[in-house]
Amino acid sequence: MKAVSGKELCRILERLGWVRVKTKGGHRKYVKPGYSPVVIPVHGNKSLKSGTQHKIMRDAGLTEADL
């Protein structure tokens, strides 16, 4: 799986119709009808840990092709 930063994943979600509803510290919360809310940690340009990225992608219905 291609490693991405929190900022990159946020851009991908926004491109796919997700809407940011809340920001608290280094975390951004996104919602989209039909899905559970997704929280993305954004800490500069650091890549997300693979387990964290995999869980977010699974919850948001993303695939490798979306990256």
Per-residue pLDDT of the chain (67 residues; tens, 9 = 90+): 899 999 999 999 999 999 999 999 999 999 999 999 999 999 989 999 999 999 999 999 999 999 8
Q: Single out the residue of 14, 16, 4, 10 nearest to residue 53, CA to CA.
A: 4
Domains of the chain: 6-66 (3.30.920.30)
CA angle 55, 59, 61 (to 5 degrees): 115
Output the pLDDT for position 35: 95
pTM of the model as a whole: 0.90
